[in-house]
């Protein structure tokens, strides 16, 4: 009898392949791995059906979940395939512990009990050190943290400050390290897809909204949207285990400067890596930033042009060269546009989201000069919010690039949610308000196009005008902010439908850090995917140009 396991697995790390081979070796059965693009197959053959069942059970224990795993299946087939697949001889990527190594390190009867240097051909950071039991060091440091001290901890990929999450965090940029998934479920509104991703072997950061229980238990903390992760090396894992026995399941972790009273340096990392951060919807997991555990990408000249480079990296990662592909670039930092690629004509910019203003006064003048309704709107706005209007008119911009995110920044200022002249900071406030909205639908905000010299642009003034009208009608901040984000996704969706009809495109590649907005990403993957085949970066962060180091060459 032959059993076929199939995985849609978008990773070049070889974690699954190596664990399959290792597990198969423990059984006396014939096995074979076949890889076909993103499809990974394992075949095992035996006369003894009990043995096959035992193998399947063992494999499910050994194989960790991965953020790169999309679907898996198992079925009985007639024949072993002919192909022969040889595992490429590439370097191990720096990733957290596999289930087998974890089992050894937490097993009191095992020689590797509390040995932080335990690793295998699949997992670990390839850092040398004395193999011994380090329990005492962890017990002592955990006590210090419980007493309220800040500790500088050397992990396998960098140095961090950690401590009890309390009011000292309000002055720094911090993340939360959690003992287990249960604590994250208890303190945030994480969805089941998010919980599954957090538990994956890559142990990514996810930005989550904290709930009322969190506000009650950590009343001194001011942040609502915080990045959470599980320990992603043995130093952090064993530290959290010791803290757990003292009743502490969450601590802060930061790279920021904060005076530490103790240090824990059991390991000297060789290469510093930035942990990865993901955004998760029901349908997809994508990488926002970081490089730890990711494959290496050789940069070419075109990769260095932010929006085109990101678009091209998706085409490369999914081998879409023979298709006609729409590229939607929605970076928070760089130029935003919609591109179309085909082998026939190369890349064209179909629609630009570029605009420019020097100040808030400039924005208001432009609206006044558009038409009579615009002039009347500004007069009404000025009369109703005279002090606010005067204050913000003095705001001058200092931006290199204007894009959708910066437009949201201007909107946040117009609506009096922010007075930050740094438009990214203002936009962040609008994003936070949108994510605190618990309703189903916000007001419909206009995103309209205009033609300038036979090119198509988004008209930012129309969007600003609608939000001003809603403000005059006293629509509340949360639903208005949500409407700004929601209506933008609907605008993109309509554009994609039109382009598909006009240019007969087959696929859509979406890139850029704005995908990190959880509502936007969820809505895109749920609604736009009904009419379009959506593609995102597989093993690269969404802005595409993050230089990777270490690991394996991707293309």
Instruction: Using CB under 5 A, list all residues that contact Zn ion.
Output: 98, 101, 120, 122-123
Place of tokens 């000292």: 168
- Sequence-distant (6+) residues with CB within 8 A of 527 are 489, 493
Give whichever of 200 and 310 is closer to Zn ion, judged by the CB atom.
Answer: 200
Nearest approach, Cβ of residue 18 and Zn ion (Å): 9
Give whichever of 95 and 458 is closer to Zn ion, judged by the CB atom.
Answer: 95
Place of tokens 């006396």: 28
Helix axes 15-25, 49-62, angle to 10 degrees: 140
Task: Note the residue count of the chain.
Answer: 555
Nearest approach, Cβ of residue 119 and Zn ion (Å): 6
Give whichever of 101 and 412 is closer to Zn ion, judged by the CB atom.
Answer: 101
Q: How many helices (H) and strands (E) does the chain have?
A: 17, 20
Cα atoms found within 13 Å of the Cα of residue 280, Cβ hemisphere only: 26
Give whichever of 119 and 194 is closer to Zn ion, judged by the CB atom.
Answer: 119
Nearest approach, Cβ of residue 136 and Zn ion (Å): 24
Give whichever of 21 and 120 is closer to Zn ion, judged by the CB atom.
Answer: 120
Give whichever of 119 and 303 is closer to Zn ion, judged by the CB atom.
Answer: 119
Give whichever of 131 and 441 is closer to Zn ion, judged by the CB atom.
Answer: 131
Q: Let me know if 182 is exposed, middle or buried by CB neighbors in 10 A (0-12, 13-18, 19+).
A: exposed
* C-alpha span between 1 and 300 (Å, rounded): 48
Decide if 515 contacts 547 (C-beta within 8 A): no
Nearest approach, Cβ of residue 118 and Zn ion (Å): 7
Nearest approach, Cβ of residue 23 and Zn ion (Å): 12
SS3 418: coil
Nearest approach, Cβ of residue 124 and Zn ion (Å): 6
Nearest approach, Cβ of residue 123 and Zn ion (Å): 4
Give whichever of 20 and 489 is closer to Zn ion, judged by the CB atom.
Answer: 20
Which residue in 315, 325, 272 sits closest to 496, CA to CA?
A: 325
Nearest approach, Cβ of residue 129 and Zn ion (Å): 16
State the greatest distance between any 2 C-alpha atoms of the chain, in Å, as a whole number.
85
* C-alpha span between 415 and 433 (Å, rounded): 12
Helix axes 404-414, 360-370, angle to 10 degrees: 90
Decide if 457 contacts 450 (C-beta within 8 A): yes
Which residue in 357, 316, 207 sits closest to 544, CA to CA?
A: 316
* C-alpha span between 233 and 246 (Å, rounded): 20
Give whichever of 104 and 527 is closer to Zn ion, judged by the CB atom.
Answer: 104
């Amino acid at each position: 009898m032959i059993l076929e396991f199939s995985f849609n697995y978008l990773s070049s790390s070889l974690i699954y392949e190596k664990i399959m081979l290792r597990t198969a070796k423990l059984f006396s059965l014939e096995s074979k791995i076949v890889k076909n693009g993103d499809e990974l197959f394992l075949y095992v053959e035996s006369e003894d059906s009990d043995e096959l069942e035992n193998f399947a059970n063992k494999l499910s224990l050994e194989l960790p979940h991965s953020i790169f795993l999309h679907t898996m299946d198992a079925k009985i087939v007639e024949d072993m395939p002919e192909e022969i697949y040889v595992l490429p001889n590439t370097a191990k990527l720096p990733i957290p512990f596999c289930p087998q190594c974890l089992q050894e390190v937490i097993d009191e009867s095992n020689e590797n009990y509390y040995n932080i240097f335990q690793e295998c051909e699949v997992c670990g950071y390839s850092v040398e050190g004395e193999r011994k039991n380090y329990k005492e060091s962890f017990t002592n440091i955990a006590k210090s943290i419980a007493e309220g001290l800040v500790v500088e901890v050397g992990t396998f990929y960098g140095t961090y400050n950690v401590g009890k999450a309390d009011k000292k965090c309000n002055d720094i940029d911090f993340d939360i390290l959690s003992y287990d998934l249960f604590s994250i479920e208890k303190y945030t509104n994480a969805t089941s897809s998010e919980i599954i991703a957090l538990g994956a072997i890559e142990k990514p950061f996810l930005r989550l909204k904290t709930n009322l229980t969190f506000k009650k238990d950590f009343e001194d903390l001011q942040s609502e949207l915080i990045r959470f992760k599980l320990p992603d090396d043995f130093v952090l894992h064993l530290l959290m285990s010791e803290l757990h026995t003292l009743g502490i399941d969450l601590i802060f972790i930061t790279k920021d400067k904060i005076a530490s009273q103790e240090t824990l340096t059991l390991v000297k990392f060789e290469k510093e890596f930035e942990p990865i951060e993901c955004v998760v919807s029901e349908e997809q997991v994508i990488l926002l930033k970081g490089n730890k555990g990711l494959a290496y990408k050789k940069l070419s000249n075109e990769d260095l042009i932010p929006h085109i480079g990101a678009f091209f990296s998706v085409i490369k990662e999914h081998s879409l060269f023979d298709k006609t592909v729409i590229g939607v670039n929605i970076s928070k930092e760089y130029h935003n546009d919609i591109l179309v690629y085909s082998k026939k004509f190369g890349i064209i910019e179909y629609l630009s989201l570029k605009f420019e203003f020097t100040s808030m006064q400039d924005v208001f003048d432009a609206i006044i000069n558009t038409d009579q309704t615009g002039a009347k709107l500004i007069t009404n706005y000025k009369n109703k919010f005279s002090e606010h209007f005067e204050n913000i008119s003095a705001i001058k911009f200092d931006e290199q690039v204007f894009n959708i995110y910066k437009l949201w920044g201007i909107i946040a200022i117009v609506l009096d949610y922010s007075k930050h002249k740094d438009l990214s900071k203002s936009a962040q406030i609008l994003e936070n308000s949108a994510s605190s909205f618990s309703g189903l639908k916000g007001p419909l905000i206009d995103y309209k196009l205009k033609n300038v010299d036979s090119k198509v642009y988004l008209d930012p003034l129309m969007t600003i005008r609608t939000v001003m009208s809603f403000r005059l009608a006293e629509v509340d901040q949360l639903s208005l902010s949500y409407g700004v984000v929601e209506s933008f996704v609907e605008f993109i969706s309509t554009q994609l439908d039109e382009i598909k009809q006009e240019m007969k495109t087959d696929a859509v590649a979406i890139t850029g850090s704005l995908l990190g907005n959880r509502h936007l990403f969820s809505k895109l993957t749920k609604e736009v995917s009904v009419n379009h085949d959506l593609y995102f970066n597989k093993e690269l962060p969404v802005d595409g140009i993050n230089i990777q180091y270490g690991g394996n060459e991707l293309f």
